[in-house]
Structure 1
Amino acid sequence: MGELTYLLVEEIFYHFLAVIGLIANLMTILILSRGSCGLCSCTGRYLMSMAVADFLVIILCVIMNYLGSLHFPISFLHHYNVCSLNSIVNAAVVDSSVWLTVAFTIDRFIAICCPKWKVRYCTEKTAAWVILTICTVSFLRNIPRYFTYEPDYLRGPFPFCRLRKLCTNVPWAIYLCLCTVLTPLIPYVSILFLNALTVRHILVASRIRKTLRSQSNDGKQSDPEMENRRRSIILLFAISGNFIILWMTKVVVFVLEEMLLELNFMNAMIHVGDMLMYLNSCTNTCIYALTQAKFRDEIKRVVSYPINLLLKIIK
């Protein structure tokens, strides 16, 4: 009974995630493409690329991979060639989503803590090259996944996908371990480290700036630069903190597996880790809405437009 309840909860979660994820990411892409949220060009590029990557994660990993396999146990998705390509693309979009979050964190770290590098690195052109490089490398490094599968002619009317026995050998084990280290272990540690450095810089800079301003104007006037920096910091910490929380279970599972621990709840942790990982692909819209006033205004316009159009047609 417990197992059936868990499967039902998982099925409901992925259906809910598919609907909310599609709507949220499409709305985010539409709003950011208009460029009316008051964000600098490079930040807008990173947020747009993250929204597109998250949108692809929802379509390919959640809808096609999980829900497609659930509702259509015998379909073209289980064909050997499709399954092999699917494994590459699914891993590539997840890797891209993760590393784009890292790139955004680095961009904001440089903008806040390294003003000398800001002019050179925090530009729209650099952001475009970084995004293109991340997406290309993410795809190329997952190509070996194609060869981890082989055709199975005994399960149905066409060659089904089956994991090769070679995957238990040392080279494949090393490759799969490296993939997990690259995503999400290194990004997870990198974001934690960069946020720690950012917090340290902010505390020191704020203390110095408050002292200087209190000496010049008794601290009565507002500080526009600190207000702009505060909004940028809130957005950075919200996105990176969301990533840290939702990927924590996956990181813990990886560490436990590397310690060769066989715990009774490991299987449940793996499933929960996957659910939280995919949830990360539809939460950024909520973060933008909570932290950016102009983004909230754009959401109201997007939502109200079809309603107003419908009312005009009725009248």
Structure 2
Amino acid sequence: MVAMALGDLMVVLTGVILNRVVGIYAPVSLLSYTPACRVQTVLVYISRDFSVWSTVAFTFDRLVAICCPKLRVSYCTERLATVIVCVVLGLSCLQYVPLYLALEPFYFANGIPMYCTTISNFYVDPEWIAYSWMNHIFTPCLALCLILLFNAVTVRHILISSRVRRALRGTDNNTDPELENRRKSVVLLFSISGSVVLLWATYTVHHLYYRITNTYVYSGGDDPIFILQEAGHMLLLLSCCSNTCIYVATQRKFREELKNGLKYPLTLVVATLK
């Protein structure tokens, strides 16, 4: 969960603050130079993929913890979690090394390269087309499929266990805390799966559209395809931050600490008045 939060924070810093906010309100800055623009663009993709795949890793960790009690002892350890996080981050970095090479200066100002754009043959060369499709197959297609699969297996295990427990309890009408916790877990897992699929759908549809129709240039800000592209990026950035919020907000200890934090200023004021 710490890795997920770190990935989401990286998305906010690179994809939202540096790329969107600074790009709009400070169009001429240190990030305007081509080397900085290249690094910033690559970091946006790395942080996005790390956020998504850390969510996949955490979803699998929950599956093991709930469905595989024997494997849980050896798998759900802090050391192995650290190794998995480092591997995911390393693979995300390696995946976008070619993207750095696919960026070139947008124009030159007094001989200084400014901003960055994809090279002219990025959309036509078979090698770059294959690279682009590979990236989109891994993220989001494969990642979403794995999240759905892991959550489906976990939900199925919970439902079967709950059915057996309910049968053993017989006609006892007293509320079962264990069954209530399992019901909340099912709702949580469905919320995660639905959130990821819905928020990534627009981005995926746009990618399929421009690759199939070869539509790479837009007529302006009111072009429907341009609006689809920007909506997809907005929802993508939101998706990278929603999962951690959902997971954390459903934790009882977190809710208790949040309540204490909200009550603390009032308690301090009352104590001061006394």
TM-score, normalized by length of structure 1? 0.74
Q: Report if aligned partners of 2:4, 2:244 keep a CA contact under 8 Å in 1.
A: no
Residues 56-112 of structure 1, C-alpha deviations (whole Å, 9 max, x = no match): 111111111111111122222121111111122111100000001111111112222
Letter paired with 1:93 = S
Of 120, 130, 133, 1:177 maps to: 133
CA distance in 2, matches of 1:224, 1:310: 38
Count of paired positions:
266
**Larger mean Cα displacement after TM superposition, 281-290 or 241-250:** 281-290
Q: Identity over aligned residues, as a percent?
A: 38
1:250 shift after superposition: 1.6
Aligned amino acid, residue 34 of structure 2? Y
Q: Residues 156 and 103 (structure 1 numbering): CA distance in 2 closer, same or farther, change over 3 Å?
A: farther
Letter in 2 for 1:203: L
Measured in 2, the distance between the counterparts of 1:239 and 1:145 equals 30
Distance across 2 between alignment mates of 1:191 and 1:266: 28
1:131 corresponds, among 60, 85, 89, to: 85
Q: 1:206 aligns with which of 155, 159, 162?
A: 162
For residues 313 and 153 of structure 1, do their structure 2 counterparts lie closer, same or farther at Cα, with a shift above 3 Å needed? farther
Aligned-partner SS, 1:165: coil
The 3-state SS of whatever aligns with 1:154 is: strand
Determine the structure 1 residue equivalent to 2:260.
301
Superposition map of 1:53-132 within 5 A: 53-132=7-86
1:288·1:295 contact (CA, 8 Å) conserved in 2?
Answer: no
Alignment gaps of 5+ in structure 2: 216-222
Separation in structure 2 between the aligned mates of residue 260 and residue 162 of structure 1, nearest angstrom: 21
For 1:255 and 1:162, locate their aligned partners in 2 and report how far apart those are by CA, in whole Å.
21
Contact 1:88 1:145 in 2 (8 A): yes
Change (3 A) 1:105 1:277: same
3-state SS, counterpart of residue 108 of structure 2: coil
Per the alignment, residue 273 of structure 1 pairs with: 232
Deviation at 1:171, TM superposition (A): 0.9
Q: CA deviation at 1:237?
A: 3.2
Tell me how far 1:287 sits from its aligned partner: 2.3
Instruction: Give the unaligned 5+ runs of structure 1.
Output: 1-46
**How many Å apart are 1:125 and its aligned residue?**
2.2
Do the aligned residues in 2 keep the contact of 1:85 with 1:146 (CA within 8 Å)? yes
Query: What RMSD in Å do the two structures reach over aligned CA positions?
Result: 2.8
Paired residues of 2:162 and 2:182 also in contact (CA < 8 A): no
Amino acid at match of 1:265: P
For residues 1-38 of structure 1, the C-alpha deviation after alignment (integer angstroms, 9 at most, x for no partner) is xxxxxxxxxxxxxxxxxxxxxxxxxxxxxxxxxxxxxx
Q: Give the match for residue 244 of structure 1.
A: 197
Q: Deviations over 1:126-184 (max 9, x none)?
A: 22211111111111211111101123553467311232223231111211221111111
CA contact 2:48–2:240 (8 Å) conserved in 1: no
* In 2, Cα distance between equivalents of 1:103 and 1:182: 14
Corresponding residue number in structure 2 for 1:191: 147
- Evaluate the alpha carbon distance shift between residue 261 and residue 279 of structure 1 in structure 2; reply closer, same or farther with a 3 A threshold: same
Whether contact under 8 Å (1:55, 1:281) holds in the other structure is no
For residues 205 and 105 of structure 2, what CA distance do their matches in structure 1 show? 33
Q: C-alpha deviations, 1:223-270, integer Å up to 9, x for none?
A: 4544444444444333333222211212232344454386x7333221
Counterpart-to-counterpart distance in 2, 1:231 and 1:73? 46
Specify which of 201, 213, 219 is matched with residue 172 of structure 2.
219
TM-score by length of 2: 0.84
Are the aligned partners of 1:234 and 1:291 in contact in 2 as well (CA < 8 Å)? no
Matched, 1:141 2:92: no
Q: Is the 8 Å Cα contact of residues 61 and 90 (structure 1) preserved in structure 2?
A: yes
Shift of residue 289 of structure 1? 6.3
Contact kept, 8 Å, 2:56 with 2:143, in 1: the verdict is yes
